Amino acid sequence: MPGVMKFGITGISGGVTSYPEALASVARAAEMAGFDTLWGGEHHVLSTSSTRFPPTSRYLNPVVALTYAAAFTRTIRLGTGVLLLPQHSPLILAKELASLDVLSGGRLIVGVGVGWSEEEYRALGVPYAERGARADEYLAAMRAIWSEGTPSFAGRYVSFQDVVAYPHPVQQPFPPIVVGGSAAPVLRRAVEQANGWYGFALDLADTAALLAQLREAAARYSRPASLGELEISVAPRVPLDKDTVVRFAELGVYRLILMPPRDKDAAALEQWVKTMGETLVGQG
């Protein structure tokens, strides 16, 4: 039998909530409404030829945005959904994420992906073709610096020894790691290295198909027992009612991460959060 569905809100680092007053009010409203998580994704730069969204779209750095949200909340968890991991220096990112976990009292969820825009990678000087290999290596390096007393790591893209980085995250040996995306290497990465998987903008059929692929990956690749069961989070691209929530739960979805409407101002968005809390979250 499916368990009680959890609910999150994504997009917290962009759009209306890229303004401080709106970010604070929506974060507080989400916590009061019973949402379990806030999620913020990232784009360091946007291509002027982007067709997915306007290149002038506002995106805060998600670690900064979630740290700001942490100051206005007490219990809601804070997820990077998702960081474009290969575009970062892994040790600098590890320090930033550990700082967020410490300042939030251990509420961080580390969501990572590899992205889709070759133009962004080119602007940042990171080879697009290496993004998957870098993601695997960077995750391993961050786990080492977060949890080992005398960490060391030797890889193709990052190597270190005789260094430490304190404070470690509150959550030990490391905060929960969630891998986002749908490509075969991503599903393998989720099985081998992550506590959870995040599917973005999916309907029920998409979700069923990808969960079947995840089960196939789980049969093919080794999963450390320490990671436990893979938690499934989905940002649905279909309208939600109670019946649809039940259908997602029956597929094995642990958390539904709602995408706020883009056309609302701060007050309307806060009211949307409260309404969703009353109609969905409270019934989950």
On whether residue 1 sits in a domain, the answer given is no
pLDDT in tens, 193-238: 999 999 999 999 999 999 999 999 999 999 999 999 999 999 999 9
On whether residue 90 sits in a domain, the answer given is yes
What is the pLDDT at residue 2? Answer: 56
Per-residue pLDDT band for 283 (boundaries 50, 70, 90) equals low
Per-residue pLDDT band for 284 (boundaries 50, 70, 90) equals low
On whether residue 219 sits in a domain, the answer given is yes
Instruction: Find the mean pLDDT for residues 15-36.
Output: 97
What is the pLDDT at residue 86? Answer: 98
On whether residue 13 sits in a domain, the answer given is yes
What is the pLDDT at residue 126? Answer: 97
Per-residue pLDDT band for 1 (boundaries 50, 70, 90) equals very low
What is the pLDDT at residue 114? Answer: 97
On whether residue 47 sits in a domain, the answer given is yes
pLDDT in tens, 112-134: 999 999 999 999 999 999 999 99
Contacts of 40 (CB under 8 A, 6+ apart): 10, 11, 12, 13, 14, 60, 62, 65, 66, 79, 80, 81
Nearest to 74 by CA among 107, 49, 26, 98: 107
What domain count does the chain have? 1
> To which residue do tokens 């929506």 refer?
26
pLDDT higher than 60, residue 20: yes
CATH of the domain at 162: 3.20.20.30
What is the pLDDT at residue 50? Answer: 80
On whether residue 121 sits in a domain, the answer given is yes
Structural domain containing residue 176: 6-283
What pTM, to 2 d.p., does this model score? 0.96
Of the candidate ranges 1-15, 98-112, 216-230, the one whose mean pLDDT is the lowest: 1-15
What is the pLDDT at residue 99? Answer: 98
- Mean pLDDT of all residues belonging to the chain: 96
The reply to whether omega before 173 is within 30° of 0 (cis) is yes
Greatest Cα pair distance, the chain, in angstroms, is 55
On whether residue 239 sits in a domain, the answer given is yes
On whether residue 192 sits in a domain, the answer given is yes
pLDDT in tens, 230-273: 999 999 999 999 999 999 999 999 999 999 998 889 999 999 99
